[in-house]
Amino acid sequence: MSAGTRTNKLTLRDPALVRWVLIGLALAFIGLVLFLPLILVFLEALRHGLGAYFAAVTEEDARSAILLTLEVAAISVPLNVAFGLAGAWAIAKFEFRGKSLLLTLVDLPFSVSPVISGLIYVLLYGAHGWFGPTLDAWGIKLIFNVAGLVLATIFVTFPFVARELIPLMQEQGTEEEEAAISLGANGWQTFRLVTLPNVAWGLLYGVLLCNARAMGEFGAVSVVSGHIRGQTNTMPLHVEILYNEYDFVGAFAVASLLALLALVTLAAKSFLEWRYGDRLSAGRAH
Amino acid sequence: MGLQAQGIVKTFGTFKALGGVDLDIQRGEFVALLGPSGSGKTTLLRILAGLDAQDEGHVLFNDEDMSGRKLRDRRVGFVFQHYALFKHMTVAENIGFGLRVRPSVERPTKADIKARVDELLRLVQLERLGDRYPSQLSGGQRQRVALARALAIEPSVLLLDEPFGALDAKVRKELRRWLRRLHESMQLTSIFVTHDQEEALELADKVVIMNQGLIEQVGTPEEVYHKPQTSFVYEFLGGANRVPCEIRGGVVRIGSTIIPAPQVVDLKDGPGTAYVRPEEISIGAPSGAGVPAIVQHVFRASPLPRVEVQLVDTSLALDVTLPPDEAGAILAKGQRVTVNFSKFDVLPG
């Protein structure tokens, strides 16, 4: 190593004091804002022992809230994967009029408060809303039931998959697709064999984020749910009700399940990256 | 397979990429589309392949109009500039792709596909690398995978977009020779795009020189090099010097020096441009006949010494290549000399 590069490295190195202060600040921040609350959720949930914890999460209303949350996520996540893939594919691989408008619309749910989006659904599809009477005449109810919850969740979680995929697809361009087509592949084969595998990791990440948000969404869901215990309460709504009724063990027990979901999501992502890391790097490098 | 382009026009927005191109390619020919960037050569190649659609005109394969025909019907082997290998597939999977995606009635069995892939791996000399991913290969190896993948569908015509553009000089030369042999042994009809004139002249049977969306000249390498027909071809091939001159009464006047030029007899009097290649200029003593000039630079770090001289009358700079025995050593910057043109052509304007 020449003297020149050595000095360079030294100048890039901050004094020990600065380094430790910065690292300390970062750790303190993470501890106070992320780690401590997480620990507290579990501590509060287990305050009266495991028995009380299990009783709280297996109680009838809690069980129906858990099932409803899973049901809403199971419907809205696949739909948003389909919408997200289609939207990202169109935006990234094709040139058309109104493309930037579509891109803005994809981002809309991020910029609108979830409560407002919920209210708008009520105004549009509720019993006294614009389309309410018409829908009612057809025997269709979209508010204060599962359909409304799914609708609100889809709206709020719409950008996750598309936003994850658009930059990835744009970066990859269309050469591989052209190569596939020139080799005789049809549109579906090209999508399935070339486009999809190239974005598989981004898609997985988008699905995990989308799912986490779908299960955790509060604002929009709260407006369209109607808070009917045992019928239209999802887990976050159930947590709020229990908390407002001073049932802290019950509230934190259900909250701990949501926190666990977040941890499982993270673990799943790390495991997949570790397990298929070589394929990942083979796919990324060009 | 014979291939024809008739009156191809293509515009991108307001930019006219191709302004009516006609081209006739015979079965078995090795054709270079040569031109500077923006000349439309890649656009033409993509239209021949069917990757882009022309606005006007027709593409004919064996006298059959291909307009509106699907890409898979054209059976075109296309090699992309940056290879466009499927990153998540192994080399063998890449090569077999074109066979695997065939409709089930035409698809070969798995064993047949494997045999064909092995054969192609041997052909491109990558026998042991079938299980690797493209990211684990060098540039030259990726290029050969791209070629094998294109050949797997037994294309009627092989189209290559800047096939050697992304490779270093040594690999490029080897691969060039290898591709030439491959073209001959497989009796392919091949068209490649390049901006490298050396590559085009060395490799192709027929060179198509393009400029600003039009074809300037089509011919064998010898024809386009020795008998350029347009001023663009003069300057683009062999880096000819452009010398403004006066044509009057069958003679050419450069500055105050009169130079006899037999072919000028037919030209009208008026301004003209003389095109003279660096190797067709000789340098003599200042007292001798010729156009007076001053040496500006001498470059000796090349196979043939190169000299830049400035004409005294017109302050025009010329590139001169000297034969190796005529040692450039005696020349020095600022020295007065005369230059003579052993061969040159004059075009009006």
Q: Facing residues of B21 across strands?
A: B8
Q: With b meaning 16 or more CB within 10 Å and e meaning fewer, what string describes B128-164?
A: ebbebbbeebebbbbbbbbbbbbbbbebbbbbbbbbb
- ipTM for the assembly: 0.80
Question: Residue A1 has which token pair?
Answer: 């190593």
Contact of B90 with B133, CB cutoff 8 Å:
yes
Residue B177 above 90 pLDDT? no
Q: Does B51 touch chain A (CB under 8 A)?
A: yes
**B136, A282: Cβ pair inside 8 Å?**
yes
Please tell me what DSSP assigns to residue A195.
I
**B101, A198: Cβ pair inside 8 Å?**
no
In this prediction, residue A225 carries a pLDDT of: 84
* Least Cα separation, residue B265 to chain A (angstroms): 54
Query: Of B85, B84, B91, whose CA–CA distance to B131 is shortest?
Result: B91
Least confident among A115-129, B252-266, B310-324: B252-266
pTM above 0.80, yes or no: no
Give contacts of A189 with chain B, Cβ < 8 Å: 101
Contact of B44 with B208, CB cutoff 8 Å:
no
DSSP string, A251-265: HHHHHHHHHHHHHHH
In this prediction, residue A286 carries a pLDDT of: 37
User: Is residue B263 helix, strand or coil?
Assistant: helix
**A182, B136: Cβ pair inside 8 Å?**
no
Query: Of B36, B56, B32, whose CA–CA distance to B45 is shortest?
Result: B32
Contact of B58 with B67, CB cutoff 8 Å:
yes
For residues B315 and B313, what is the distance between their CA atoms, to the nearest angstrom? 6
In this prediction, residue A284 carries a pLDDT of: 46
Question: Residue A65 has which token pair?
Answer: 């809230």
For residues A242 and A240, what is the distance between their CA atoms, to the nearest angstrom? 5
Taking residues B215-234, report their average pLDDT. Answer: 91
Give contacts of B97 with chain A, Cβ < 8 Å: 180, 183, 185, 193
Least confident among A51-60, A134-143, B214-223, B289-298: A134-143
Sequential pLDDT tens for chain A (286 residues): 444 444 456 666 778 888 899 999 999 999 999 899 989 999 988 988 888 898 888 888 889 999 999 999 999 999 999 999 999 999 988 888 888 898 898 888 888 888 888 888 888 888 777 887 888 788 777 777 888 899 899 999 999 999 989 999 998 888 999 999 999 998 899 999 999 998 988 898 889 889 988 998 888 888 888 777 777 888 999 999 999 998 888 899 999 999 988 888 888 878 877 776 655 554 444 3
User: Is residue A181 helix, strand or coil?
Assistant: helix
* Other Cβ atoms within 10 Å of B100 Cβ, number: 17
| Amino acid (1-letter code) at residue A153 | T
* Least Cα separation, residue B1 to chain A (angstroms): 18
Contact of B322 with B283, CB cutoff 8 Å:
yes
Q: Which residues contact B55 (CB under 8 A, 6 or more apart)?
A: B9, B10, B11
For residues A210 and A104, what is the distance between their CA atoms, to the nearest angstrom? 19
Query: Of A81, A32, A89, A65, whose CA–CA distance to A221 is shortest?
Result: A65
Give me the helix-helix angle, B139-151 and B110-123, nearest 10°: 130
pLDDT band for position B312 (cuts 50, 70, 90): confident
Query: What are the residues of chain A with a beta carbon less than 8 Å away from any beta carbon of chain B?
Result: 175-176, 178-186, 189, 193-194, 197-198, 200, 279, 281-286
* Other Cβ atoms within 10 Å of A158 Cβ, number: 23
Average pLDDT, chain B: 88
Query: Of B115, B119, B151, B145, whose CA–CA distance to B133 is shortest?
Result: B145
For residues B61 and A259, what is the distance between their CA atoms, to the nearest angstrom? 64
Q: Which of A182, A189, A276 to mutate to test the interface with B (most CBs of B within 10 A)?
A: A182
**B87, A182: Cβ pair inside 8 Å?**
no
pLDDT tens string B5-46: 999 999 998 899 999 999 999 999 999 999 998 899 999 999
| Amino acid (1-letter code) at residue B233 | V
Give contacts of B135 with chain A, Cβ < 8 Å: 281-282, 285-286
Q: Which of A97, A177, A183 to mutate to test the interface with B (most CBs of B within 10 A)?
A: A183
- By Cβ distance, the residue of A176, A184, A284 closest to B86 is A176
- By Cβ distance, the residue of B49, B85, B86 closest to A182 is B49
